[in-house]
Amino acid sequence: MQLPKHLKNPLVTGTLLLTITGMLSKVIGFFYRIFLSRTIGAEGMGIYQLIFPIFSLGLVITAAGIQTAISKYVSSCCCREASGYGMGYLYAGLFLSVCLSLLVGLPMYHYAGWISDVILDEPRCLTLLQIVAYALPFASIHACINGYYYGQKKTAIPAVTQFAEQCSRVLAVYILLKIYEQKGIAPTPSIAVWGIVCGEFCSMLISITCLHFYKAWGGFFHKLKEIALFSAPLTANRITYHVFASAESILIPLKLKAFGYSSSEALSVFGILNGMAMPMILFPSTLTNSVSVLLLPTISEASAQENVRMVRSATRKTIFYCLLLGFASTAFFLVTGRYIGQYMFHNTLAGSFIRTLSWICPFLYLTTTLSSILHGLGKAGTAFFINLSGCAIRIVCIYLLIPTYGIRIYLYAMLASQLVAAVCSIYFVRRSISRSCRL
């Protein structure tokens, strides 16, 4: 029995595979969030969420740009049927990424106290930062190997490791919780951070086990130079964006204190927003994230071949289906938001946040995929500018308005920033395609 023609398309089959495993991971993650919120409480969730800006920034420095570079060069090697040469790019990327992870992880561990006291303004984050520093090398290796498979438009291994990471994270936290209960120790946010380390280690181990290594050291330093030169501006852009995004996350609890909340109340509200409400809003984005991962090499290849029709068709379908998914998600969260907050998280404020944030769904999902198209068209700088502008809108609102109007103003700022980002993304994608037609 032959598959239908459209299912033989690597973009379609890859998206389906990533989406299925992504949805399974999201379902597990959804119940995991509920479990965590009941285990460590809203304040504990807030403390746990505070370390993510620092951890995410570390991942950006050590892996994000390098993964994209590996994907791009491996994709071009596959077009020339030079797979051995593509493996060489993986080795070069792995070497660079692991070195960077050590250069970032060691200072993160050593200066965790200073970061907690001065940057995060929360001394209880010290131990969490020291623990999560162990995850950086594992995450970097995992990201590089995923980039190699994405470049080949093979998604089976990345999909399996994504699912395994989530399962091992939950299992590790459950085991640690049982150990704590036997010893009569109250659970702390550190058990969730150890779950991150175990998840990254497990996914790295599976990635390495499944990879078929063979000799491809020829021109190693030339490939290392190519990877470094391509990833450097991309990494610099992402670092800048993540500095802004980190400032956004760190400022929210601080400005909530200025509004009149105690430290415990501010962390609780922050934990409800970022640890309960936002994961729910992002749940349907599994599909758009899967599309985004595979759109970059697909659009990049079509652009290199000057196949404007393919780029235009992919863009139209992306806009249509993202808006369809987004408005359906908005309707769903408007109807069920209060129920989700009250009966699943046992928190009425979480339900209120979900209902308000539901309006960002169409614009959030659309911006994610169009940003990937802009990268594929060689407009990484434009995508960076759009994302940075949205982040700047939110930071201004946090700094100036939250001390007066409270957390609600931040929700409205998120809606405004995502709307601006979506409109700008559509404009610049259309403009880039139109210019390609005139060439």
* Interacting residues of 98 by C-beta distance below 8 A, sequence separation 6+: 137, 140, 141
Quote the CA–CA distance of 257 and 272 in Å, as a whole number.
16
> Between 197 and 378, where is the model more confident?
197
Tell which wins on pLDDT, 429 or 436: 429
Answer whether 124's CB lies under 8 Å from 47's CB: yes
pLDDT of amino acid 295: 64
Q: What is the mean pLDDT of residues 300-325?
A: 76
Q: Which of 152-161, 324-333, 345-354, 407-416 has the lowest mean pLDDT?
A: 152-161
Domain boundaries, the chain: 1-246, 282-439
Q: What is the pTM of this model?
A: 0.72
Average pLDDT over residues 130-138: 94
Using the structure block, give the residue that is written with the tokens 């949805």. 23
Q: What is the rounded CA–CA span in Å between residue 424 and residue 117?
A: 38
pLDDT band at 2 (very low <50, low <70, confident <90, very high): very low
**Token code pair at residue 180:** 């704590």
Average pLDDT over residues 360-388: 83
Both tokens of 45, joined, read 């969730």
Residues in the chain: 439
Of residues 296 and 190, the one with the higher pLDDT is 190
The residues, any chain, with a CB within 8 Å of residue 411's CB and separated by 6 or more, are 353, 356, 357
Place 357 in a pLDDT band, splitting at 50, 70 and 90. very high
Q: Which pLDDT score, from 0 to 100, does residue 22 have?
A: 65
Q: Is 84 left (phi over 0), alpha (psi -120 to 50) or beta?
A: alpha
Q: Is the pLDDT of residue 337 over 50?
A: yes
Question: What pLDDT does residue 3 have?
Answer: 41
**CA 88, 89, 94, 99 torsion-angle sign:** positive
How far apart are alpha carbons 40 and 52 in whole angstroms? 17
Q: Are 405 and 255 in contact (CB under 8 A)?
A: no
For residue 170, the one-letter residue type is V
Please tell me the predicted confidence (pLDDT) of residue 68.
84
For the chain, give the percent of residues with pLDDT over 90: 27
Q: Which of 422, 60, 51 is nearest to 242 (CA)?
A: 60
Please say whether the beta carbons of 45 and 37 come within 8 A: yes
Q: What tokens appear for 419 in the block?
A: 């709307």
* Per-residue 3-state assignment (H helix, E strand, C coil) for the chain: CCCCHHHHCHHHHHHHHHHHHHHHHHHHHHHHHHHHHHHHHHHHHHHHHHCHHHHHHHHHHHHHHHHHHHHHHHHHHHHCCCHHHHHHHHHHHHHHHHHHHHHHHHHHHHCHHHHHHHHCCCHHHHHHHHHHCCHHHHHHHHHHHHHHHHHCCCCHHHHHHHHHHHHHHHHHHHHHHHHHHHHCCCCCCHHHHHHHHHHHHHHHHHHHHHCCCCCCCCCHHHHHHHHHHHHHHHHHHHHHHHHHHHHHHHHHHHHHHHHCCCHHHHHHHHHHHHHHHHHHHCCCHHHHHHHHHHHHHHHHHHHHCCCHHHHHHHHHHHHHHHHHHHHHHHHHHHHHHHHHHHHHCCCHHHHHHHHHHHHHHHHHHHHHHHHHHHHHCCCHHHHHHHHHHHHHHHHHHHHHHHHHHCCHHHHHHHHHHHHHHHHHHHHHHHHHHHHHHHC
Q: Which pLDDT score, from 0 to 100, does residue 436 have?
A: 59
- How confident is the model at residue 290, as a pLDDT? 62
28 confidence band (pLDDT: 50, 70, 90) = confident
What's the pLDDT score for residue 331?
94
Q: What is d(CA 348, CA 267) in angstroms, rounded to the nearest whole number?
A: 16
Tens digits of per-residue pLDDT, 274-293? 878 888 888 777 666 666 65
CA distance 347 to 100: 41
pLDDT of residue 122: 87
